[in-house]
Amino acid sequence: MRSLRLAAYALPALLALTLAACGGDGDDEKITVYSGREEEYVGPLFDRFEEETGIELDVRYGETAELAATLIEEGENSPADLFFAQDAGALGALEKEGLFAPIPEDSLSRVEPRYRSPEGVWVGTSGRARVVGYNTEELSESDLPDSILDFTDPEWKGRIGWAPTNGSFQAFVTAMRLTEGEEATEEWLRGIAGNDPVVFDDNEAIRDAIASGEIDVGFLNHYYIAEAIAEEGPDYPVRAYHPQGDVGSLINVAGIGILESAGNAAGAEEFTAFALNDESQRYFADVVKEYPLVDGIPADPEVTPLAQIQQPDVELGELDDLQGTLELLQRSGAL
Amino acid sequence: MPLALAGAVLATAMVLPLAYLLITVADSADTAVDTVANSRTIRLVARSTGLALAVTATAILIAVPLAWLTARTDLPGRRVWAVAAALPLVIPSYIGAYAYLSALGPAGLLRDALQEPFGIERLPDITGFAGAWLVLTLFTYPLVFLPVRSALRGLDPQLEEASLGLGRSQWRTFRSVVLPQLVPAIGAGAVLVALYTLHDFGAVSIMRFDSFTREIYTLYRASFDRTGAAALALILVALMLVLLWLEARARGGFALHRSTPGAKRPARPIRLGAWRVPSLIFCALVCGLALVLPAGVLVYWSFQSFAGSTDWAGTLDAAGSSLLVSGLAAAAAAVCAIPIAILSVRFPGRFARLTERFSYTGYALPGIVVALALVFFATRAAPAVYQTLGLLVFAFLVLFLPLAIGSSRAGLQQVSPRVEEAARSLGRSPLAVVRTVTAPLMRSGVLAGGALVFLTAIKELPATLILAPIGFQTLATEIWNATNVGFFERGAIPSLVLLAISAPSLYLLIGRE
């Protein structure tokens, strides 16, 4: 078999070639970013940074949790300079592993203390609100209960959509454990599970099911709705509701941490400052529909202003105890 | 001897994920024990095993008749059918599952079509066990189809002719003469289907079937809990060993090669006669469900997403990368499978058995586990290769080598050792015999194995995301980029390109016959 033999000889040669080709880049100027945020949302930001500073970014995209696990396995040998995560829980987990270096004070002080690590090793770059999405053809805001806790009422049987495997939802349950206690949280989970909710895999699916009328309400993040309204127009039949003052209106953040082992720490610090400058913050607000976290930058007019949301009293860095949440979800039959 | 050495080196490489799991679990054994020893884990094992058995059984029922029809009969267009029947393998299971959900789901395209004329508001829910079973069967049966078809083509027609000549009917001949000779190929394929079902994440997560792998992913994603996930992954390794043991028992030890001298010749195609139309309907039904329906949904989506904004240059680039890395992986796997297959068939014994079984470790595990294992070892032992193309190809080898081993072994079992003995007695060195006699004679199986690796590697995602050189985009990562932000429509075009570039390579393989 000639082609088989050919392959046997060609393979090592090809491998050697590719190794040689890939081994050659020792450029100090580059910043290596592990991005748990999607290219769709942060790609334009990266492009603008490269244009303005002339510094090249090497970006590895992936799921936030999987990149966090990768960073933990890589340890000191990580090629990454900076981790751009989708939620505070992952940043908290890496903080506990001691993988992060301090963020410069100039960047930290741009953001309110509640949206950054108390130790100053990671900083939020944009906010993501938990909301109750509802179908405007079936319901108006006055039909909705004051508290997220009241959705256990039998009146909501078969009308709720949720995503118990979704990271944002689990962060919300972790927050509920902190504000309401273990018992009340378990009771709530059992109550919702007993209301025959439709189970989804992610936020988009919940939103689409609300829009199609498959369900009346769903628990999701605010920007999925704002995005759809921007795309489909004001007639889009889904709106966001913030249950005031309880954990139902938790604001989580996407944020940045700089690796202790970074080869280009100065570059990583420069990018952190860039992500928190006015223009980048406006980008998060206008295009991604997230909440800007720097004073003086307004949120998208379609979303409820941050100042009008009564947030629960939760330390975001503590949302990394998801192990207990997972056990609770399993025990209550939600997972 | 060099064969044993090659086998040992390969098996060691394949066991890296297992070593990683043991290291991780040993780190905090208490958590591991807690995770494994709870009733929920046991229930999940039962659910996953049940799904694996159901999928494997239906996959065999679909694959064996299809393989026989396209390999041994005068079915019109049998080569085209053969290519079409193998193609569903390149559809990533999460895309396939999503396509099915959006076509047949409670609020899917079929409902939309039925709503106007018949006033049907909701279709029965296909999520859960039924949906996962359907989707996994349709996208894994080629794992049985390809090795069985290549085994059928390698069969010596003399036995069948003898059976027919002695007055047995075509059906009895198939059952008593052909089928027993196919057992190794069916068994090899069935193990792959079962292991695929056990480690698959895409289909079960979209069909919302609570399985073992979903639990492992949840542990990683929600709690960064590597210990618990590793402990659960070890259970998968144990299940794999049980499956392989069962398969080895079913395979038995009988000889499948001809015992008399003389040249082998291809079998004469069997005339289908009146069975021609039902056979065509069967092929059309399978290809319709496994290929045309998902491809149709993809085409529908690609019209939905405004094709004007498609980044064709990027997609083309990604297609080139996909071809390169899966091609390298397929060639590497084909070459590496040869010594392991020879060891297992020609020199059976404890060493060969261990070598072969442990080389399945990577395939039994979810991609994320294997990827993290290689991160762990590469960053510590070989930082120079970390995140290079070479390491990615190696990862594919760890993940997919068993795909090549199974069909190479089945191919070799049809080769009589006497040919090799003759070559030895004529003065060739053992290595020269492997190179010039054994490997060429088992080529049908080896090529089928390489094709399986190619088709599977081209859609691989978790290892590609973590281990590829930075900025290396494949079609799979393009699809992920699009679907990750919730726009399945935008994943349609790269998915169709994936199908389109796989079809010619398969045709080359099947058309050459």
Considering CB atoms only, which of A15, A39, A62 is closest to B466?
A62
> CB-CB: which of A19, A38, A63 is closest to B221?
A63
Q: Report which of B453, B348, B454, B347 is spatially closest to residue B406, judged by C-alpha positions.
A: B453
Q: Give the percent of chain A with pLDDT over 70.
A: 92
Residues from chain B that touch A59, judged by Cβ atoms under 8 A, are 470-471
CA distance linking residue A67 with residue B332, whole number of Å: 28
Which residues from chain B sit within 8 angstroms of residue A68, using beta carbons? 224
Residue B270, SS3 per DSSP: strand
CA–CA–CA angle A321, A326, A329 (5° rounding)? 130
Q: Cβ contact (<8 Å) for A165 and B106? A: no
C-beta separation of B188 from B143 below 8 A: no
Contact B440 A59 (CB under 8 A): no
pLDDT of residue A1: 42
Question: CA nearest A109: which of A300, A321, A294?
Answer: A294
Shortest alpha-carbon distance between residue A142 and chain B (Å): 28
Q: Say whether B40 and A65 touch across the interface (CB within 8 A).
A: no
What integer pLDDT is reported at residue A266 of this predicted model? 95
Measured between beta carbons, the chain B residues lying within 8 angstroms of A39 are 481
The beta-carbon neighbor of A59 closest among B225, B368, B470 is: B470
Chain B partners within 8 Å of A199 (Cβ): 208
Q: Running DSSP on this structure, what letter comes out for residue B436?
A: I
B289 burial via Cβ count (<10 Å: 0-12, 13-18, 19+): middle
Residue A173 has pLDDT above 70, yes or no: yes
pLDDT tens digits, residue range B210-237?
Answer: 888 888 887 776 666 678 788 888 888 8
Banded pLDDT at A5 (limits 50, 70, 90):
very low
| Count of pairs with CB atoms under 8 A, one residue in A, one in B | 140
Name the minimum distance, in Å, from the CA of B390 to any CA of chain A: 6
For residue A81, the model assigns a pLDDT of 96
Q: Which residue of A has its CA nearest to B121?
A: A214
Chain B touched by A331 (CB under 8 Å): no
Interface test with A, best of B95, B224, B512 (most A CBs within 10 A): B224
Could you tell me the CA-to-CA distances from B5 to B162, B339, B344, B440 in Å, in that order? 42, 9, 14, 21
Residue A177's pLDDT band (cuts 50, 70, 90): very high
Q: With an 8 Å Cβ cutoff, are A167 and B222 in contact? A: yes
Yes or no, beta carbons of B380 and A77 under 8 Å apart: yes
Angstroms from B170 CA to nearest CA on chain A? 34
- Distance from the Cα of A63 to chain B's closest Cα (Å) equals 8
- b (16+ CB within 10 A) / e for B100-112: bbbbbbbbbeebe
Q: Which backbone phi and psi does A81 adopt, to 5 degrees?
A: -100, -30
Q: Is the Cβ–Cβ distance between A112 and A293 less than 8 Å? A: yes
- What element of type H or E holds A33? strand A31-35
Q: Which stretches within B382-442 are classed as H helix? A: 389-412, 417-425, 430-433, 439-441
Q: Which residues in chain B touch residue A18, judged by CB atoms under 8 angstroms apart?
A: 388-390
Identify the band that residue A4 occupies on the pLDDT scale cut at 50, 70 and 90.
very low
Nearest residue of B to residue A209 by CA position? B107
- Torsion on CA atoms A145, A146, A148, A149, rounded to nearest 10: -90
A65 with B222: Cβ contact below 8 A:
yes
> Which chain B residue is nearest to residue A202, measuring alpha carbons?
B486
Give me the residue from B218, B368, B385 closest to A66, CB to CB. Answer: B368
Torsion, Cα A183 A187 A193 A199, to 10 degrees, reads -40
- DSSP at A161: E
What are the b/e assignments for A129-158, b being 16+ CB within 10 Å?
bbbbbbbeeebeeeebbeebbbbbeeebee
> Which residue of chain B is at minimal alpha-carbon distance from A214?
B107
Please tell me the distance in Å from A214's CA to the nearest CA on chain B. 8
Inter-chain touch B375–A70, beta carbons under 8 Å: yes
In whole angstroms, what is the distance from residue B447 CA to residue B458 CA?
16
**Is A318 near chain B, with CB under 8 Å?**
no
**Nearest C-alpha neighbor of B337 from the set B171, B170, B449:** B449
Rg (CA), chain A: 22
Shortest CA gap A195–chain B (Å): 18
Contact B379 A73 (CB under 8 A): yes
Question: Closest partner residue to B379 among A75, A170, A335, by Cβ?
Answer: A75
B35, B213, B369, B470: best to mutate for the A interface, most A CBs within 10 A: B470
Q: Is pLDDT of A196 > 80? A: yes
Contact (CB<8Å) B222/A326: yes
Best mutation target among B466, B472, B488 (most A Cβ atoms within 10 Å) is: B466
Three-state SS at A57: strand
Which two three-digit tokens encode residue A19? 């190794």
Q: Do A165 and B226 touch (CB under 8 A)?
A: no
- Classify burial at A288, counting beta carbons within 10 Å of its beta carbon; exposed 0-12, middle 13-18, buried 19 or more: buried
Q: What pLDDT score does A23 carry?
A: 41
Give the integer Cα–Cα distance in Å for B175 and B169.
Answer: 10
Helix (H, G, I), strand (E, B) or coil at B461: coil
pLDDT at A19: 44
A203 versus A26: the higher-pLDDT residue is A203
- Tally Cβ neighbours within 10 Å of residue A52: 11
Predicted confidence (pLDDT) at residue A26 exceeds the cutoff of 50: no
Higher pLDDT, A325 or A145: A145
The residues in A 129-188 lying below 8 A from B, measured between CB atoms, are 165, 167, 170
ipTM confidence score: 0.81
pLDDT for B248: 80
For A165, the 3-state DSSP assignment is coil
Task: Please tell me which of the candidates A4, A11, A90 has its beta carbon nearest to residue B328.
Answer: A11
CA distance to partner chain B, nearest, from residue A76 (Å): 9
Neighbours of A176 (CB within 10 A): 26
A319 to chain B: nearest residue by CA?
Answer: B223
Test mutation, B24, B221, B379, B467, chain A, max A CBs within 10 A: B221
Identity of the residue in A1, A38, A69 whose CB atom sits nearest the CB atom of B439: A1
Instruction: Answer yes or no: do A19 and B385 touch at CB < 8 A.
Output: yes
Residue A15 has its nearest CB partner, among B390, B477, B481, at B390
| A147: closest CA of chain B, how far (Å) | 25
Query: Which residue type, as a one-letter code, is found at position B416?
Result: S
- Given CB atoms, is A17 within the 8 Å cutoff of chain B? no
Do residues A147 and A176 lie in contact, with contact meaning Cβ atoms separated by under 8 Å?
Answer: no
What pLDDT band is residue A49 in, cutting at 50, 70 and 90? very high
User: Which portions of chain B are predicted below pLDDT 50?
Assistant: none
Task: Kindly state whether A270 is in contact with chain B, defined as any CB-CB distance less than 8 angstroms.
Answer: no
Task: Give chain A's length.
Answer: 335
Minimum Cα–Cα distance from A321: chain B residue: B223
How far apart are the CA of B61 and the nearest CA of chain A, in angstroms? 32
Which residues share a beta bridge with A198? A161
Cβ of A326 and B219 within 8 Å?
yes
Check residue A28 and give its pLDDT. Answer: 58
pLDDT of residue B123: 62
> What is the maximal distance between C-alpha atoms in chain B?
79
Nearest CA in chain A to B210: A335
In Å, the largest CA–CA distance within chain A is 76
Is B313 exposed, middle or buried, given 0-12, 13-18 or 19+ CB atoms closer than 10 A? exposed
